Amino acid sequence: MTPSRRQTLQWVMAAAALPLARWTSPALAAGPGTPAPFEVVAWPPTLPPPPPAQGYGRDPNLMEPKVTWPLTLSTAQRATVDMLGDMILPADGKSPGAGALGVGGFVDEWISAPYPVQRRDRELLLGGLIWLDAQSRALHQAEFTAITASHRAALLDALTVETPDARLAKPVAFMDGLRYLFVLGYYSLEEGKADMGYIGDQPTPGEYPGPTPEALAHYAGVLRELGLPTD
Amino acid sequence: MTLDTFDPATTTVDVIIVGSGAAGGMAAFSLTQAGLRCLILEAGRDYDPQSEVNMMAPESAAPLRGAATPDKPFGYFDATVGGGWEVDGEPYTMREGSDFRWYRPRMLGGRTNHWGRHAPRWGPYDFKPFSRDGLGVDWPIGYDDVAPFYDRVERMIGVNGGRLELENHPDSPANCLMPPPKPRVPEMLLKATCESMGIPVRAAHTAVLTRDMPHDVAPRSACFNATPCTRGCTIGAFFQTTTSFLPIAKATGRLTVVTDAMVSKVVMAGKDRAAGVEYVDRKTGARHKVEARAVVLAAGTLETTRLLLNSGESPAGLANASGELGRNLTDSTGASFRAFVPALADRPRYNEDGIGGQHVYIPFWLYGEQKRGELDFARGYHFEIGGRFGIPPAATLPRVWGAGLKKAVRAASGATIGMTLRGEMIPNKDTFCEIDQGVKDRFGIPVLRFSFRWSQHELNQVAHGQRIAHAVFKRMNATILSPELPPEKLITAGGEIIHELGTARMGADPRSSVVDSYGQAWDVKNLFLMDGAIFASGAHKNPTLTILALALRASERLAARLKSGALA
Chain A contact set for B387 (CB, 8 A):
17
Give which of B280, B284, B242, B564 is closest to B445, Cα–Cα.
B280
Give the integer Cα–Cα distance in Å for B532 and B522: 17
Give which of A209, A204, A63, A201 is closest to B221, Cα–Cα.
A204
Report the residue of chain A nearest B61, measured CA to CA.
A65
Taking an 8 Å cut-off on Cβ atoms, the answer to whether A188 and B391 are in contact is yes
Distance from CA of A141 to the nearest CA of B (A): 24
Phi, psi at B33, each rounded to 5°:
-60, -35
- Give the SS3 label for residue B527: strand
Taking an 8 Å cut-off on Cβ atoms, the answer to whether B343 and A222 are in contact is yes
**Beta-carbon contacts of residue A120 (< 8 Å; ≥ 6 apart):** none
pLDDT in tens, A159-195: 999 899 999 999 999 999 999 999 999 999 999 999 9
pLDDT at A1 (0 to 100): 32
Span B292-298, mean pLDDT? 98
Taking an 8 Å cut-off on Cβ atoms, the answer to whether B390 and A197 are in contact is no
pLDDT at A4 (0 to 100): 42
Asked whether residue A2 carries a pLDDT value surpassing 50, the answer given is: no
Span B235-263, mean pLDDT? 98
pLDDT at B364 (0 to 100): 98
Chain A contact set for B70 (CB, 8 A):
1, 55, 115-116
Report the residue of chain B nearest A106, measured CA to CA.
B64
Chain A contact set for B196 (CB, 8 A):
228-229
Contact B258, B6 (CB under 8 A): yes
Give the integer Cα–Cα distance in Å for A120 and A113: 10
Asked whether residue A230 carries a pLDDT value surpassing 90, the answer given is: no
Give the integer Cα–Cα distance in Å for B315 and B308: 11
Span B514-531, mean pLDDT? 98
Span B259-271, mean pLDDT? 97
Of B74, B227, B406, the CB nearest to A89: B406
Task: Map B24-45 to HEC letters.
Answer: HHHHHHHHHHCCCCEEEECCCE
Give the integer Cα–Cα distance in Å for B7 and B9: 5
Report how far apart the first and last C-alpha atoms of chain A are (Å, whole number). Answer: 47
Q: What residue spans define the domains of chain A? A: 5-225
- pTM beyond 0.80: the answer is yes
β partners of residue B294: B15
pLDDT at B12 (0 to 100): 81
Of A59, A156, A214, the CB nearest to B81: A59
Give the integer Cα–Cα distance in Å for B317 and B307: 9
Span B266-278, mean pLDDT? 96
- Give the SS3 label for residue B258: strand
**Beta-carbon contacts of residue B519 (< 8 Å; ≥ 6 apart):** B506, B528, B529, B530, B534, B550, B551, B554
Of B82, B359, B402, the CB nearest to A59: B82
Best of A157, A222, A230, A231 to substitute, by most chain B Cβ atoms within 10 angstroms, is A222
Distances (CA, A) of A194 to A184, A198, B153, B192: 14, 6, 42, 30
Best of B209, B338, B382, B399 to substitute, by most chain A Cβ atoms within 10 angstroms, is B399
Asked whether residue B548 carries a pLDDT value surpassing 60, the answer given is: yes
As a whole-number percent, the residues of chain B with pLDDT over 90 amount to 96
Give buried/exposed letters for B100-133 (b at 16+ CB in 10 A, else e).
bbbbbbbbbbbbbbbbbbbbbbbbebbbbbeebe
CB pairs under 8 A between A and B: 296
Span B402-426, mean pLDDT? 98
Chain A contact set for B60 (CB, 8 A):
188-190
pLDDT at A30 (0 to 100): 46
Taking an 8 Å cut-off on Cβ atoms, the answer to whether B400 and A25 are in contact is no
Give which of B530, B174, B405 is closest to A192, Cα–Cα.
B405
Span B202-225, mean pLDDT? 98
> How would residue B6 be classed by pLDDT, with cut points 50, 70 and 90?
confident
pLDDT in tens, A179-188: 999 999 999 9
pLDDT at A195 (0 to 100): 98
Span B515-519, mean pLDDT? 98
Distance from CA of B29 to the nearest CA of A (A): 28
Q: Backbone dihedral region of B363: left (phi > 0), alpha (psi from -120 to 50 degrees) or beta?
A: beta
Best of A62, A120, A182 to substitute, by most chain B Cβ atoms within 10 angstroms, is A62
Asked whether residue A19 carries a pLDDT value surpassing 60, the answer given is: no
Q: Which B-chain residues 427-486 have CB contacts (< 8 A) with chain A?
A: 475-477, 482-483
> How would residue A32 be classed by pLDDT, with cut points 50, 70 and 90?
low
Phi, psi at A17, each rounded to 5°:
60, 40
Give the integer Cα–Cα distance in Å for B92 and B100: 10
Span B386-401, mean pLDDT? 96
**Beta-carbon contacts of residue B447 (< 8 Å; ≥ 6 apart):** B90, B91, B92, B93, B306, B435, B436, B439, B440, B441
Span B88-98, mean pLDDT? 97
Give which of B491, B489, B487 is closest to B331, Cα–Cα.
B491
Report how far apart the first and last C-alpha atoms of chain B are (Å, whole number). Answer: 29
Asked whether residue A23 carries a pLDDT value surpassing 80, the answer given is: no
Asked whether residue A13 carries a pLDDT value surpassing 50, the answer given is: no
Strands annotated E in B446-534: 446-451, 479-480, 527-529
Best of A12, A23, A54, A109 to substitute, by most chain B Cβ atoms within 10 angstroms, is A12
DSSP A115-144: SHHHHHHHHHHHHHHHHHHHHHHHHHSS-G
Q: Which B-chain residues 113-152 have CB contacts (< 8 A) with chain A?
A: 116
- Give the SS3 label for residue B144: helix
Taking an 8 Å cut-off on Cβ atoms, the answer to whether B395 and A214 are in contact is no
pLDDT at B567 (0 to 100): 86
Burial (0-12, 13-18, 19+ Cβ within 10 Å), B560: exposed
Distance from CA of A46 to the nearest CA of B (A): 25
Taking an 8 Å cut-off on Cβ atoms, the answer to whether A65 and B62 are in contact is yes
Chain A contact set for B45 (CB, 8 A):
59
Q: Which B-chain residues 55-114 have CB contacts (< 8 A) with chain A?
A: 56-77, 81-84, 87-88
Best of B391, B413, B474 to substitute, by most chain A Cβ atoms within 10 angstroms, is B391
As a whole-number percent, the residues of chain A with pLDDT over 70 amount to 86
**Beta-carbon contacts of residue B448 (< 8 Å; ≥ 6 apart):** B92, B93, B102, B302, B305, B306, B309, B433, B434, B435, B436
Give the integer Cα–Cα distance in Å for B512 and B325: 10
Calculate the average pLDDT of chain B: 97
As a whole-number percent, the residues of chain B with pLDDT over 70 amount to 99
Give which of B121, B169, B125 is closest to B550, Cα–Cα.
B121
Span B542-565, mean pLDDT? 97
> How would residue B4 be classed by pLDDT, with cut points 50, 70 and 90?
low
Asked whether residue B45 carries a pLDDT value surpassing 50, the answer given is: yes
Taking an 8 Å cut-off on Cβ atoms, the answer to whether A207 and B181 are in contact is yes
Asked whether residue A18 carries a pLDDT value surpassing 90, the answer given is: no
Q: Which B-chain residues 186-205 have CB contacts (< 8 A) with chain A?
A: 188-189, 192-193, 195-196
pLDDT in tens, B196-210: 999 999 999 999 999
Distance from CA of B451 to the nearest CA of A (A): 19
**Lowest-pLDDT range of A25-29, A166-170, B140-144, B483-487:** A25-29
CB proximity B386 to A under 8 Å? yes
Distance from CA of B512 to the nearest CA of A (A): 35
Best of A208, A216, A223 to substitute, by most chain B Cβ atoms within 10 angstroms, is A208
pLDDT in tens, B120-174: 999 999 999 999 999 999 999 999 999 999 999 999 999 999 999 999 999 999 9
Distance from CA of A135 to the nearest CA of B (A): 19
Asked whether residue B9 carries a pLDDT value surpassing 80, the answer given is: no
Give the integer Cα–Cα distance in Å for B191 and B358: 13
Asked whether residue A31 carries a pLDDT value surpassing 90, the answer given is: no
pLDDT in tens, B296-351: 999 999 999 999 999 999 899 999 999 999 999 999 999 999 999 999 999 999 99
Chain B contact set for A16 (CB, 8 A):
74, 116, 228, 230, 357, 386
Taking an 8 Å cut-off on Cβ atoms, the answer to whether B386 and A60 are in contact is no
User: Do the bridges between strand B38-41 and strand B432-440 make them parallel or antiparallel, or are there none, so unpaired?
Assistant: unpaired
Taking an 8 Å cut-off on Cβ atoms, the answer to whether B76 and A95 are in contact is no
Chain B contact set for A56 (CB, 8 A):
63, 69, 71-72, 76
pLDDT at A22 (0 to 100): 37
Distance from CA of B242 to the nearest CA of A (A): 17
Chain B contact set for A184 (CB, 8 A):
65, 67, 391
pLDDT at B10 (0 to 100): 78
Calculate the average pLDDT of chain A: 88
